[in-house]
């Protein structure tokens, strides 16, 4: 499928791309945040990763985001309605800090 752009649309898109590149461009090149699934992240040694997971889970529980339940105590219909959660470990570039993110 071919996209046809007017000249002013192409110029606007190019300017946006240049601004995005300029914002993230550093002396060392482009920096991106490295994310790991929890199993992969925990294999990379360090207690700071376990602390990050613990801190994120505690924060979710303190804010009443969800209530943990044992799967064995749930009915079949409750299991079907349950939402899956995924824990990611994010390695911040500038502060060299590990953060947990539950999604």
**What does the pLDDT read at residue 73?**
93
Q: Is residue 65 part of a domain?
A: yes
At 59-83, the pLDDT tens digits run 988 888 888 889 999 999 998 888 8
CA–CA distances in Å: residue 53 to residues 29, 57, 68:
30, 6, 16
| Domain total of the chain | 1
Reduced to 3 states, what is the DSSP secondary structure of residue 76? helix
Reading the block at residue 79, the tokens are 């299991």
Of the candidates 34, 39, 17, 22, which has an alpha carbon nearest to the alpha carbon of residue 97?
34
Provide block-wise average pLDDT over 10 residues at a time, the chain (103 residues): 73 84 64 75 77 89 85 91 85 75 85
- Asked whether residue 41 is assigned to any structural domain, the reply reads yes
Q: Domain of 37?
A: 31-102
Rounded to whole angstroms, how far apart are CA atoms 52 and 35? 13
Residue 97 lies in a domain: yes
- Bridge-partner residues for 67, per DSSP? none
């Amino acid at each position: 499928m071919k996209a046809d752009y007017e000249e002013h649309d192409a110029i606007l898109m190019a300017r946006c791309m240049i601004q995005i590149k300029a914002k993230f461009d550093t002396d060392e090149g482009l920096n991106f945040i490295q994310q790991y699934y929890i199993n992969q992240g925990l294999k990379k040694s360090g207690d700071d990763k376990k602390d990050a997971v613990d801190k994120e889970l505690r924060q979710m529980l303190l804010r009443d985001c969800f209530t943990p339940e044992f799967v064995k105590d749930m009915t079949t219909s409750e299991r079907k309605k349950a939402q899956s959660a995924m824990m990611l470990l994010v390695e911040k570039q500038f502060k060299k800090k590990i953060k947990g993110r539950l999604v």
